[in-house]
Amino acid sequence: MLPLGFFRKKKKPTVHDPNAPHLFGEFSLHELINRGGTAEIWTATDQDGQTYALRRLLGNGAVDKAARKQFLHGCTVLEKIHGHQFIIGFFKHGKLDGVDYTLLERVEGSNLKHLITRNDPVLGEFVGNILIDSAIALEHLHEKGFIHLDFKPENILVTKAGDIRLVDFDLAQPLPKKPTRMPSNAGTPAYMAPEQIRHEPLDQRADIFSFGVMAYELLTFRKPFIGETPEAVLRKQLDEKHPIPPPREINSDIPIAVERIILKCLERDPEKRFPNAHVLVAQLQQALYVK
Are residue 64 and residue 78 in the same domain, yes or no?
yes
> How many secondary structure helices (H) and strands (E) does the chain include?
8, 11
Choice between 58 and 10, residue whose per-residue pLDDT is larger:
58
Is 15 inside a domain boundary? no
115 & 85 share domain: no
* pLDDT attached to residue 3: 54
Residues 84 and 42 in one domain: yes
Lowest-pLDDT range of 9-13, 202-206, 246-250: 9-13
Are 52 and 24 a contacting pair, CB within 8 Å?
Answer: no
Is residue 91 domain-shared with residue 219, that is, in the same domain?
no
Say whether both 147 and 77 belong to one domain: no
226 φ/ψ angles, rounded to the nearest 5 degrees: -130, 155
Residue 4 located in a structural domain: no
State yes or no: pLDDT of 6 exceeds 50.
no
Domain boundary among 104, 139, 170: 104
Tell me what the mean pLDDT of segment 271-284 comes to: 98
- The answer to the question of residue 250 being in a domain is yes
Residues 151 and 58 in one domain: no
The reply to whether 150 and 94 lie within a common domain is no
pLDDT above 80 for 265 = yes
Structural domain of 199? 110-287
* Residues identified as active-site: 150
Confirm whether 147 is domain-assigned.
Answer: yes
Tell me the CATH number at 141: 1.10.510.10
Mean pLDDT of 137-141: 98
Mean pLDDT over residues 205-221, rounded? 97
Same domain, 98 and 121: no
- Give the domain-ending residue among 79, 104, 129: 104
Please provide the distance, in angstroms rounded to a whole number, between the alpha carbons at the two ends of the chain. 92
CA–CA separation, 157 vs 106, rounded Å? 10
Residue 130 lies in a domain: yes
- Give a yes or no: residue 140 inside a domain: yes
User: What is the chain's alpha carbon radius of gyration, rounded to the nearest angstrom?
Assistant: 22
The pLDDT confidence band at residue 139, using thresholds 50, 70 and 90, is very high
Same structural domain, 157 and 263: yes
Report, as an integer, the average pLDDT of 255-280.
97
Q: What is the mean pLDDT of residues 163-184?
A: 96
The pLDDT, as a whole number, for residue 65 is 85
> What pLDDT was estimated at residue 14?
45
Quick one: 91 and 120 in the same domain? no
Q: What does pTM read for this prediction?
A: 0.90
| 149 in any annotated domain | yes
* Same domain for 144 and 86: no
pLDDT at site 19 = 78
Which one has a higher pLDDT value, 184 or 145? 145
Q: How many domains, in total, are found in the chain?
A: 2
Angle at 41 between CA 148 and CA 213, to 5 degrees: 35
pLDDT band of 238, cuts 50, 70, 90: confident
Closest by Cα among 156, 151, 167, 157 to 77: 167
Q: Do 78 and 157 have their domain in common? A: no
| 167 is a domain residue | yes
Q: Tell me, what CATH number does 94's domain have?
A: 3.30.200.20
Closest CA to 149 of 70, 55, 239: 70
Average pLDDT on 172-197 reads 93
- Which of 104, 123, 144 corresponds to the end of one domain? 104
Whether 171 and 187 have beta carbons less than 8 Å apart is answered as yes
